[in-house]
Structure 1
Amino acid sequence: MKHHAVAELPSAGRTINALPKTSKFVLLIIFVTLIFFTVTPVLYPLLNYPIYLLQSSFTSKSSSSTYEIPQQQEKDIHASDQSENVCDIFSGEWVRNTDPPYYTNMTCSALIHDHQFCMKYGRPDTDFMKWKWKPYGCELPVFDPSQFLEIVKGKSLAFVADSLGRNQIQSLICLLSRVEYPIDVSYTPDDYFKRWKYKTYNFTIAYFWAPYLVKYKERDPSAQYTGLINLYLDEFNEKWTSQIDGFDYLIISSGHWFISRPAVFYENHQIVGCHDCQLQNVTDLTKFYAYRKALRTAFKAINNLENFKGITFLRSFSPSHFENGLWSNGGTCNRTKPFRSNETVLGGDNLETYMIQMEELRAAEKEGRKRGKKYRMLDITQAMLLRPDAHPSKYGYWASKKVMFNDCLHWCLPGPIDTWNEILLQVLKIEGTR
């Protein structure tokens, strides 16, 4: 096709077919080069995203929220690509699994928030626990708690996260409970800043509540979690940045709070805009403006820490599955089985958030490499996109409480969020072979 197209181009009043072979070859090279330098700048921001996003398309009716992504993987930050037998553990399907769950709400109840114990509050089906993540071309091994604890022996792991990060910690503690329960060694009684230690293995897990990653302040403390909030997008949140120097592993996760809550944005101590704030003379900016800036500031804080020698993992975005509305206006999640990968695509806010994560992580890794910092991605986005069946929904409370919302954001325990820690174990094993 390329040769045919070139032959139709006029040159000095005659076709290229009339030129000598050498001239035709030179013109072909020039033509291909021009195409390369024209197309590459357009596609460059989209290079190196995971293969499963190929299901989205530039030709979609909603072209602003879906993309076609080339198949090349980003090896620097997708740690699963580093093994000798390359297997992308982040892309696959959910398959039936007859094995019993790793734990139940009876065998693991300590430290777990009731809102994620779906069976306790009367969920009538158990089918959501009967699926296993199957990467394309390989198997994801079952979680081995003894192996995990041996790998992290003498080390420490910190989560800088929102409530979904806490959801993952709860899963991890339950997974490890078959070997040992940790003791609480927190410096404060505040449940938003916790530390647990596995004494036999001298392994510490810490949780730092940071839904916005950066410094923030409630404008109206009486409207906590719902009212307008000030986000200081260029200021470090020292509640966690001052605490992580000695940690071996750091897992960053955030995103949903930027999407769901109105906020005023500050930079250099000045208001630069807001999202859904309804304030006069304040520019309404996209919510993604704040998320990109916050991620950039968080990574800058890490790169500026001279004494932090650990590996930073960014846990990718975990899509919610509200249908017929959102959390606050009657949204539901009543599906009872996973999607197949050809039944849904990542789009809208979910895709935008995910792409920002990838772009900012790549930029942070490039800068951090100069300073001896290491960054990796824990990419759980496709796996969780396919699990609309495994949220607490209305089974996070007793029916008698008559709670007026469904939780289609967090995940039932046990459930597919346990896969996050199965993936974490494999990534840590890979890191140990470097």
Structure 2
Amino acid sequence: MKRVKGRAPLSVVVAIIGGLALAGIIFTEDLRGLTEVKEKVTDKEKKRTSLRTVMRTSALLSADQPPPPAVLSVEPATATPPPAPKMAFNATPVQRDGWYWAYDRSKKLPYTDQTCPYVDRQDSCQRNGRPDSDYLYWDWHLDDCLLPRFDPVSMLEKLRGKRIMFVGDSLQLGQWLSFVCLVNSAVPDTPGAKSMERSRTLSVYTVKEYNASIEFYWAPFLVESNSDRNIALGAGGRVLHVDAIEEHGKHWRRADILVFDSYVWWMTGYRIKSVWGSFGDDGYEELDAWVAYRLGLKTWANWVDSNERGLGKGRRNPVLQRKLADPPTGAYRGSGSDRRMMEVMSDVLGRMRTPVTLLNITQLTEHRVDAQVSVYTETGGLLVTDEEKTDPQRYTDCIHWCIPGVPDTWNRLLYATCSLASRLSQVTSTQRNASPLVTSGSS
């Protein structure tokens, strides 16, 4: 059951702030229900055999701990009634009481960091010498809904003649690479069938047969800053132009689907040097992260509202992704994010004229610390050495994720959302003269 966001007659805008997002014509509240499920999982869950190991959301994995060898929660077979059939992932609201990760060694991997030539060295855990592979075989499930698998051919059909652009930081770069590898698994290796152009600011993967473009644009704050090109400045030297976004936005306008992500770079622990108006970098004011974040998000929201009908070939609905690494100081359980930052995000989104769908992947990601790159990565352009691995406190990367791995699940949700948007778009176009659907993005 794989469906993805179809290409609506408009572009799709996706905003990511610690999670995952996608746009098209979408039931905003229904999709929020999908990913903002409460952390608790119903005890009714059923696991079939020892071939599948269920990891409830309360069970955290560690990087050096293999998957549990047996079913963690199962009722006696004699006392367990046949489970109710799961509902298909669709636009009808369903009660989502829980979710879980399930281990399935029989799962076929669509690609590896050896078969996909585009995975960055930083994320290539297997190529970098990681000795185990169990982290690759966990699947994310909803208790009462069937989540479609990522179907690369179906996704390419939805992208035929279109551009999808991922905008954000290095976590967003990882999701883009995962998306490219998933799609690339269905593209033949014949000369001219596909191409990849990488640069510091804009990277583009194209599939000739579908005239489809899958792009990544580097903008870790979404708004402009003096460190957009000069990462070496470090957190202490950054100055954000919290009311300026056009230098980036001019590259986004012709995209049909936009997926945004911005959170981690705001959470450095430093007060953020911010300027606005005609003040230069020297006229900055130091603001708490959540204050600067509000100003920056409002600038982004205003840009989306102003360009909602000018993106791509038609209109689109923004989607906000939430994608986080380890919970920062001040985080609250089950969110992996700072409460004030999340309140700011909700408030800004709630005031937007353009409907925005938020896919919150933070909670499901929090429980997969086993899939972080850890010490199987590079630093300063060099692989972490065996000697450095003996000092994990210093050399462990707890921000980025192995590819393949958890980012594939983010894209599975993105795909499911795209499928839903595609179906809603078709229904909207065939019922244009009927009573309006109860959707958030069909204006």
| Fold match by TM threshold 0.5 | yes
What is the RMSD computed on CA atoms of the aligned residues? Answer: 3.4
Partner of 2:319: 313
SS at match of 1:410: strand
- Cα shift at 1:213: 0.7
| Inter-CA distance 220–152: structure 2 relative to 1 (3 Å threshold) | closer
| Inter-CA distance 149–348: structure 2 relative to 1 (3 Å threshold) | closer
Please point out which of 391, 397, 419 is paired with 1:429: 419
Scaled by the length of structure 1, what TM-score is found?
0.67
| Inter-CA distance 106–82: structure 2 relative to 1 (3 Å threshold) | closer
Establish whether residue 190 from structure 1 lines up as the match of residue 199 from structure 2. Answer: yes
| 1:388 aligned partner, one-letter code | V
| Inter-CA distance 221–195: structure 2 relative to 1 (3 Å threshold) | closer
How many residue pairs match? The answer is 326
| 2:373 aligned partner, one-letter code | P
- Cα shift at 1:392: 0.3
1:316–1:354 Cα contact (<8 Å) kept: no
Q: Deviations over 1:144-190 (max 9, x none)?
A: 1111111222221111111111100110111112211774465xx63
Deviates more, 1:200-209 or 1:256-265: 256-265
SS at match of 1:395: coil
- Cα shift at 1:264: 0.8
Superposed, 1:113-192 pairs within 5 Å as 113-180=120-187, 183-184=194-195, 186=197, 190-192=199-201
Structure 1: gaps spanning 5 or more residues: 1-46, 56-79, 273-278, 326-343, 369-373
Could you tell me how far apart the structure 2 residues matched to 1:54 and 1:89 are? Answer: 11
| Inter-CA distance 265–271: structure 2 relative to 1 (3 Å threshold) | farther
Partner of 1:234: 243
Establish whether residue 361 from structure 1 lines up as the match of residue 369 from structure 2. Answer: no
- Cα shift at 1:307: 1.3
Establish whether residue 52 from structure 1 lines up as the match of residue 38 from structure 2. Answer: yes
- Cα shift at 1:270: 4.5
| 2:154 aligned partner, one-letter code | Q
1:250–1:311 Cα contact (<8 Å) kept: no
Q: Deviations over 1:40-91 (max 9, x none)?
A: xxxxxxx999341689xxxxxxxxxxxxxxxxxxxxxxxx999344347896
SS at match of 1:149: helix
Scaled by the length of structure 2, what TM-score is found?
0.65
> Greater CA radius of gyration, 1 or 2?
1
Could you tell me how far apart the structure 1 residues matched to 2:246 and 2:395 are? Answer: 31
| Inter-CA distance 174–282: structure 2 relative to 1 (3 Å threshold) | closer
| Inter-CA distance 222–302: structure 2 relative to 1 (3 Å threshold) | closer
1:117–1:396 Cα contact (<8 Å) kept: yes
SS at match of 1:417: helix
- Cα shift at 1:226: 4.5
1:232–1:269 Cα contact (<8 Å) kept: no
| Inter-CA distance 125–292: structure 2 relative to 1 (3 Å threshold) | same
- Cα shift at 1:217: 0.9
Could you tell me how far apart the structure 2 residues matched to 1:300 and 1:350 are? Answer: 23
Q: RCO (CA 8 Å, sep 6+): is it higher in 1 or 2?
A: 2
Please point out which of 379, 385, 389 is paired with 2:370: 389
Superposed, 1:35-434 pairs within 5 Å as 50-52=36-38, 83-87=90-94, 92-98=99-105, 99-108=107-116, 110-180=117-187, 183-184=194-195, 186=197, 190-218=199-227, 223-239=232-248, 241-260=249-268, 262=270, 263-270=272-279, 284-305=286-307, 306-308=309-311, 309-320=315-326, 345-346=333-334, 349-364=337-352, 367-368=353-354, 374-397=355-378, 398-400=383-385, 402=388, 404-434=394-424
SS at match of 2:146: coil
Could you tell me how far apart the structure 2 residues matched to 1:297 and 1:81 are? Answer: 38
- Cα shift at 1:215: 1.3
Could you tell me how far apart the structure 2 residues matched to 1:175 and 1:90 are? Answer: 29
1:87–1:136 Cα contact (<8 Å) kept: no
- Cα shift at 1:413: 1.0
| Inter-CA distance 285–205: structure 2 relative to 1 (3 Å threshold) | same
Deviates more, 1:305-314 or 1:123-132: 305-314
Which structure features the higher share of helix residues?
A: 1
2:224–2:245 Cα contact (<8 Å) kept: yes
Structure 2: gaps spanning 5 or more residues: 1-31, 42-86, 425-443
| 2:367 aligned partner, one-letter code | L
Could you tell me how far apart the structure 2 residues matched to 1:88 and 1:254 are? Answer: 30
Taking only the aligned residue pairs, the percentage that are identical comes to 25
SS at match of 1:420: helix
Could you tell me how far apart the structure 2 residues matched to 1:389 and 1:222 are? Answer: 28
| Inter-CA distance 236–175: structure 2 relative to 1 (3 Å threshold) | same
- Cα shift at 1:255: 0.5
